[in-house]
Amino acid sequence: METLKNLEIGKSAVISKVGGTGALRQHFLDMGMIPGVKVTMMKHAPMGDPLEIRVFNYELTLRKDEAAKIEIGYKEKLSDSNADFSDSTAEKETSTASNDLLTSHPGLGEDGKYHEKETETPLPDSTILTYALVGNQNCGKTTLFNQLTGSNQHVGNFPGVTIDRKDGVIIGHPKTLVTDLPGIYSMSPFTSEEIVSRNFVLKEKPKAILNILDASAIERSLYLTMQLLELDIPMVIALNMMDELTGNGGSININEMENLLGVPVVPISALKNEGVDELVQHAIHIAHFQEKPVPQDFCSKDEAGGAVHRAIHAVIHLIQDHAERAEIPIRFAASKIIEGDKIILNMLDLDFNEIEMLEHIVVQMEKESGLDRSAAIAKMRYSFINKICGKTVKKPHESKEHLRSEKIDKILTGKWTAIPAFILIMTTVFLLTFNVLGAFLQGLLENGIDFVTNLAA
């Protein structure tokens, strides 16, 4: 059995099995390490641990013993496209799927009352439009929050945890309140950030979600988006870092992306304050008119996708009344309990028979799709993302910044140069502290004390 740990630098392979348990395993899956996905070993740290791998066009750092839990194989044909499911069903479908996605989804359950486009009655003008600002870490949330609110900020804590909570009013729109939530990659209930963000959205029921994406790591950003869309809360997507993407020759077909996702998408650069006005207009509109996402069928039409699709529908029927009572969005509840989310399962308060039925549905899905419950759901999401990106994203060439950082890394983390570089830097810091700066400060202090002593005398 070969694992990711032993993959040679520069070589690629296809993930065949994801080991590990609980939070760690879910995290692997959430980050795109799913059976069938291509991974490339980029480099090792100077002491051999951790490892940097590339998956879905972004780099991920793993400990060696974590990488040992990921089994890999080599399929004969590895395509070079961005994000590869080796069976490449996503690509094959591209030509036909576009029309399917635009028509309303005919499957059972989804044309029921939960997914009818509700007649839009605007909220009364006196309503405070509350927004949750949700996105990955480092995607520019705080930068955008500052642009939106200026100095109208209130800083506090989320109850029970030492995670900063910032609320602010959008400049020029006194009846709004935006909350900057902790950066997360998934709506799984494992890290305290994930729990805080998810509880905020589920329990405090903001009027709308501002989902901010990093356009330069679009696949990973969209993974969270997929889960937010299931919440059936009005939402607008801010596609951030567009300056970097376009600056390096990339582009995104915004209209097509809006069609495929069923929510407004606004390209912005939070740093340069570009597109933020348009974002605010959309945000106010969707919240005021309570425009919910147009429901999409995320499942691919291949065998595994079909199995997941059927399971989701079966579970939706099974838990419909419970989800309503517990006030949890039904599609979110269904995919989460299929994933194996115990918290949502408890909140639904299912009957013994219903739980048994749920488990039967899941086992059948696992059998038909050949994937376990968590992997099947993660793969469904990434397949859909793959399809969207294949149609809308023109990848940038490697950025100047990235090339520069690679060059610097070559020396700073190189096998033979890293330790000398480290010693050199530390020696410089040491000398500066104790000789140059230290001596200067010491002199200053002595003079000061002398001065005060004389004065006192």
Q: Which residues here bind ligand GDP, judged by CB under 6 A?
A: 135, 137-143, 183, 240-241, 243-244, 269-271
**In terms of CB distance, is 137 or 427 closer to ligand GDP?**
137
Cα dihedral sign for 424, 425, 428, 434? negative
Which helix or strand (DSSP H or E) is residue 393 part of?
A: strand 393-394
270 makes contact, choosing from Mg ion, ligand GDP, none, with CB < 5 to 8 Å by partner type, with ligand GDP
**In terms of CB distance, is 171 or 418 closer to ligand GDP?**
171
**In terms of CB distance, is 303 or 406 closer to ligand GDP?**
406
Q: CA 27 to CA 11: how far, in whole Å?
A: 23
26 makes contact, choosing from Mg ion, ligand GDP, none, with CB < 5 to 8 Å by partner type, with none
**In terms of CB distance, is 168 or 295 closer to ligand GDP?**
168
**In terms of CB distance, is 184 or 338 closer to Mg ion?**
184
What are 169's strand-pairing partners? none
CB 350 within 8 Å of CB 358? yes
**Nearest approach, Cβ of residue 211 and Mg ion (Å):** 15
**Nearest approach, Cβ of residue 243 and ligand GDP (Å):** 5
Structure tokens at 432: 């500066």
**Nearest approach, Cβ of residue 253 and ligand GDP (Å):** 19
Strands 58-62 vs 51-55: parallel, antiparallel or unpaired: antiparallel
Can residue 142 be called a binding residue for Mg ion (CB under 5 A)? yes
Q: CA 371 to CA 379: how far, in whole Å?
A: 9
243 makes contact, choosing from Mg ion, ligand GDP, none, with CB < 5 to 8 Å by partner type, with ligand GDP
Locus of tokens 């219903």: 354
369 makes contact, choosing from Mg ion, ligand GDP, none, with CB < 5 to 8 Å by partner type, with none
78 makes contact, choosing from Mg ion, ligand GDP, none, with CB < 5 to 8 Å by partner type, with none
**Nearest approach, Cβ of residue 193 and Mg ion (Å):** 11
Closest C-alpha to 44, from 58, 71, 64, 69: 64
**In terms of CB distance, is 185 or 332 closer to Mg ion?**
185
Say how many residues touch Mg ion, by CB under 5 A: 2
Structure tokens at 244: 């970097």
3-class DSSP state of 41: strand
Q: CA 221 to CA 135: how far, in whole Å?
A: 7
**Nearest approach, Cβ of residue 135 and ligand GDP (Å):** 6
| Exposure string for 408-429, b = 16+ CB within 10 A, e = fewer | eeeeebeeeebeebeeeeeeee
User: Please, is 78 exposed, middle or buried when counting C-beta atoms within 10 Å of its C-beta (0-12, 13-18, 19+)?
Assistant: middle
Structure tokens at 372: 């376990």
**In terms of CB distance, is 158 or 382 closer to Mg ion?**
158
What are 71's strand-pairing partners? 3, 17
138 makes contact, choosing from ligand GDP, Mg ion, none, with CB < 5 to 8 Å by partner type, with ligand GDP
Instruction: Give me the residue whose beta carbon is nearest to Mg ion.
Output: 142
Which helix or strand (DSSP H or E) is residue 439 part of?
A: helix 438-456
CA angle 78, 30, 248 (to 5 degrees): 60
**In terms of CB distance, is 135 or 293 closer to ligand GDP?**
135
Give Cβ neighbours of residue 87 (< 8 Å, ≥ 6 apart). 36, 302
137 makes contact, choosing from Mg ion, ligand GDP, none, with CB < 5 to 8 Å by partner type, with ligand GDP
What are 176's strand-pairing partners? 129
CB 82 within 8 Å of CB 55? no
**Nearest approach, Cβ of residue 138 and Mg ion (Å):** 8
168 makes contact, choosing from Mg ion, ligand GDP, none, with CB < 5 to 8 Å by partner type, with none
Q: CA 5 to CA 13: how far, in whole Å?
A: 12
**Nearest approach, Cβ of residue 186 and ligand GDP (Å):** 15
**Nearest approach, Cβ of residue 308 and ligand GDP (Å):** 31
**In terms of CB distance, is 141 or 331 closer to Mg ion?**
141
Q: CA 18 to CA 33: how far, in whole Å?
A: 7
What are 269's strand-pairing partners? 274
Which of the stretches 137-145, 203-211, 226-234, 384-392 binds Mg ion when contact is defined by CB under 5 A? 137-145
**Nearest approach, Cβ of residue 63 and Mg ion (Å):** 25
**In terms of CB distance, is 141 or 381 closer to Mg ion?**
141
295 makes contact, choosing from Mg ion, ligand GDP, none, with CB < 5 to 8 Å by partner type, with none
**Nearest approach, Cβ of residue 427 and ligand GDP (Å):** 29
Interacting residues toward Mg ion by CB under 5 A: 141-142
